[in-house]
Amino acid sequence: MNPILKEIYHAILEGQHKQVEAKVQAALQAGINPKTILDEGMIAAMDEVGRLFESGDFYIPEMLVAARAMQSGLVVLKPHLKEANIQSAGKVAIGTVKGDLHDIGKNLVKMMLEGAGFEILDLGTDVAPEKFVAVIQAGGVDILALSALLSTTMSSMKDTINALKEAGVREHVKVMIGGAPITEDYSKMIGADGFASDASRAVALAKSFLAIR
């Protein structure tokens, strides 16, 4: 691996956001392909963050710091990816469901997915079923990610899936759900396509939906 890409990789793992920005800029100036910077420097680092989290060597704070460092590099890299017409891994619309204003879990999943090369449409919190439906009707979204932290708002996930069915767009999108009170059984009961218990598993699930290795 190119030494600059190694430095980007390690700076992300260490959560050094200023270092990541500087090294991404240096890699671009050195003429390294933007896609190579993304794949070998940044996505590879976030894959390792996910692995470290799964193995218990990283916890949520370390994952969050690494994801933020990756995002700071992505800000520098994005215009160059667009210029080179680099396609994203897929488009994910994400939001916390109606009645729920919590966004920390959603934001972490969003950052981890972005770190894995997905394009993200963040709908925010307290998102009504109709808004999720409108986004799917507009087209271009591959995955809908629904978050809920409160057990009292879990039913909004079911309402959203039912609204997708009523609008005739349920088959157009994969639906993944997550949040503290959510279980695999609940996911199956309401007809979601999958459940992720944490941000790392959310990335693996999204990749599995689109058959990305």
Domains, the chain, ordered by start: 3-83 (1.10.1240.10), 91-209 (3.40.50.280)
Each residue's pLDDT tens digit, 4-37: 999 999 999 999 999 999 999 999 999 999 999 9
Q: Cα–Cα distance between 39 and 26 in angstroms, integer?
A: 16
3-state secondary structure of 174: strand
Please check whether residue 89 is in contact with residue 118, taking contact to mean a CB–CB distance below 8 angstroms.
Answer: yes
Each residue's pLDDT tens digit, 167-202: 999 999 999 999 999 999 999 999 999 999 999 899
Q: Cα–Cα distance between 24 and 4 in angstroms, integer?
A: 8
The arrangement of strands across the sheet holding 91-96 comes to 119-122, 91-96, 143-147, 174-178, 194-195
pLDDT tier, 212 (very low <50, low <70, confident <90, very high otherwise): low
Q: What is the pLDDT of residue 88?
A: 84
3-state secondary structure of 100: coil
pLDDT tier, 83 (very low <50, low <70, confident <90, very high otherwise): confident
Q: Cα–Cα distance between 188 and 112 in angstroms, integer?
A: 24
pLDDT(1) > 90: no
Q: What is the pLDDT of residue 130?
A: 98
pLDDT(213) > 60: no
Q: What's phi and psi for 173, nearest 5 deg?
A: -150, 150
Q: What is the pLDDT of residue 81?
A: 86
Q: What is the pLDDT of residue 82?
A: 82
Distances, alpha carbon 22 to alpha carbons 26, 62, 177, in Å: 6, 21, 36
